[in-house]
């Protein structure tokens, strides 16, 4: 299968990292992402690295996947030999992690716990398709040590779910939240998508009302991205469905922010709302702040102290590498200080904690003045409540206004002239 991964630099066969990268990693929060690259069927809009049984064609067995992934966790332990800190967050994503037996997810989590240890209060999340779980499955997850579930609800309109090729009814996602809460999960997220062709503003309002009715402590609302090469992109190109419209997306974002805020869910990243600081997704925060994460699984990306790498994409190629005792890394890159600064601007400006002004260069600081004058951001001077770091307190932080959040990409272009 042709790989669409970037080429990058050659990654060492044993996965070795420079000592300085491992040393830096020791001073920052540590997360593990475990990718599960299987789905029962493919949704027309999705271009994640995931495979249905037909697409796999017998390669990269689902039954042996957990054992293979455990092999990469053990390799991570060898590579990070000097690193002495427990794991703060673990996130199982997909694909559909919950297509595997709960015992398999438990086995992968146990490997992370055995090799590295989990920090007290560690966050352990799995994504779950609403139709892929039942009360017994959710109880087994809780028993295995999961603390958070993230359901892909997407919409409460059956017509929208049909256009998205979703396999569940609108009601199933709500029922799944109730089951997770009854099982004892304190933290439950719902993923929603807005801007599906044919979705009206009232449809979207209905989706938000439904989601809020089951009181999740976190909601992610994503504007539909029409990814090249997907079935959805082909249907739009053939004229079967209309293209998404920027004004419609903006109206729907504003409505989401109003309705979620009114129910006590506050934005902390442009597409993410949480009921409290404790309800934020700490794993995603770790990505947004350039901390340390090891991505286990085919196509997974990792970052340790300025070295970023990405694994081979196909589950068979992934298993072959690990079975041969080799790193599954396809290639890697070393981030120089300027690249790391640019990435901080790109990611931190999207956070409600804001972007420390000192991260901007001279041209960026000049651009920030017009961003402020145009009402796209304000300056906050107090340190963010959720972070140990107070580096930004002295110089202030740039925090987007609601209009700035709608134009976040344009703001970033201004700040990085
Ligand atoms: C990696 S998917 C996996 C979740 C799970 N398999 C599911 O579908 O319920 C995580 C989330 O990404 C979002 N997503 C995936 N493709 C997207 C797209 N093209 N545009 C916007 N959001 C997308 C969906 O909200 C989805 O729930
Ligand atoms: S959206 Fe989720 S269920 Fe659908 S194909 Fe993508 S990963 Fe699989």
pLDDT of residue 383: 63
Element (H, E) at 258: helix 246-262
Spell out the domains of the chain, with CATH numbers in brackets.
Answer: 19-288 (3.20.20.70), 338-415 (1.10.10)
| Ligand 1 pocket test target in 33, 41, 46 with most atoms within 8 Å of CB | 46
**Residue found under tokens 């892929």:** 132
Ligand 1 centroid, distance to 172 Cα (angstroms)? 17
Instruction: For residue 124, give the nearest of 89, 99, 93 by alpha carbon.
Output: 89
Cα–Cα distance between 258 and 108 in angstroms, integer?
39
Tell me if the bond preceding 351 is cis, omega within 30° of 0.
no
Ligand 2 centroid, distance to 390 Cα (angstroms)? 39
pLDDT of residue 2: 42
Q: Which residues of the chain have pLDDT under 50?
A: 1-3, 386-393
pLDDT of residue 94: 94
Pocket of ligand 2 (CB under 6 A): 39, 42-43, 46, 48, 50, 94-96, 129, 152
pLDDT of residue 382: 66
Question: What is the chain's alpha carbon radius of gyration, rounded to the nearest angstrom?
Answer: 21
pLDDT of residue 54: 80
pLDDT digits (tens, 9 = 90+) for 196-216: 999 999 999 999 999 999 999
Q: Of all atoms in ligand 2, which is nearest to the CA of residue 154?
A: 1
The bound ligand whose nearest atom lies closest to the alpha carbon of 152 is 1
What single string gives the DSSP state of each residue in 193-241?
A: EE--TT--HHHHHHHHHHHHHT--SEEEEEEPP--TTSHHHHHHHTTSS
Token duo for residue 327 = 């790193």
pLDDT of residue 393: 44
């Amino acid at each position: 299968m042709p790989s669409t991964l970037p080429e990058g630099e050659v990654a060492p066969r044993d996965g070795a990292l420079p000592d300085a990268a491992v040393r830096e990693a020791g001073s920052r929060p540590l997360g593990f992402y475990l990718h599960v690259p299987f789905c029962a069927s493919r949704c027309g809009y999705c271009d994640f690295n995931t495979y249905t049984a037909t697409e796999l064609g017998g390669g990269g067995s689902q039954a042996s996947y957990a054992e293979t992934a455990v092999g990469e966790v053990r390799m991570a332990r060898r590579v990070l030999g000097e690193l002495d800190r427990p794991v703060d967050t673990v996130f199982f994503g997909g694909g559909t992690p919950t297509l595997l037996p709960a015992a398999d997810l438990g086995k992968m989590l146990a490997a992370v716990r055995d090799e590295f240890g989990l920090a007290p209060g560690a966050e352990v999340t799995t994504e779950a398709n609403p139709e892929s779980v039942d009360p017994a499955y959710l109880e087994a997850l809780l028993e295995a040590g999961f603390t958070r579930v993230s359901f892909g609800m997407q919409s409460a309109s059956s017509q929208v779910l049909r256009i998205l090729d979703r396999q569940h009814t609108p009601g199933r996602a709500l029922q799944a939240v109730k089951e997770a809460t009854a099982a004892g999960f304190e933290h439950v997220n719902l993923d929603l998508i807005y801007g599906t062709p044919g979705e009206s503003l009232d449809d979207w309002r209905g989706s938000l009302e439904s989601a809020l009715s089951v009181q999740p402590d976190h909601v992610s609302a994503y504007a539909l991205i029409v990814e090249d090469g997907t079935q959805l992109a082909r249907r739009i190109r053939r004229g079967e469905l209309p293209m998404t419209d920027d004004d419609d997306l903006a109206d729907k974002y504003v409505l989401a922010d109003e309705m979620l805020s009114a129910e006590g869910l506050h934005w902390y990243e442009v597409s993410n709302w949480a009921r409290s600081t404790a309800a934020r997704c700490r794993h995603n925060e770790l990505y947004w702040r350039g901390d340390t994460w090891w991505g286990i699984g085919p196509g997974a990306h990792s970052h340790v102290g300025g070295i970023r790498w990405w694994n081979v994409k196909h589950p068979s190629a992934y298993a072959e590498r690990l079975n041969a005792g080799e790193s599954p890394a396809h290639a890697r890159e070393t981030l120089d200080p300027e690249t790391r600064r640019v990435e901080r601007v790109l990611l931190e400006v999207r956070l409600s904690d804001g972007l420390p002004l000192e991260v901007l260069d001279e041209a960026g600081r000049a651009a920030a003045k017009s961003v402020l004058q145009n009402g796209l951001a304000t300056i906050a001077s107090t340190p963010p409540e959720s972070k140990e770091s107070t580096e930004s307190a002295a110089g202030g932080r740039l925090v987007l206004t609601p209009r700035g959040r709608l134009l976040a990409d344009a703001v970033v272009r201004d700040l990085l002239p």
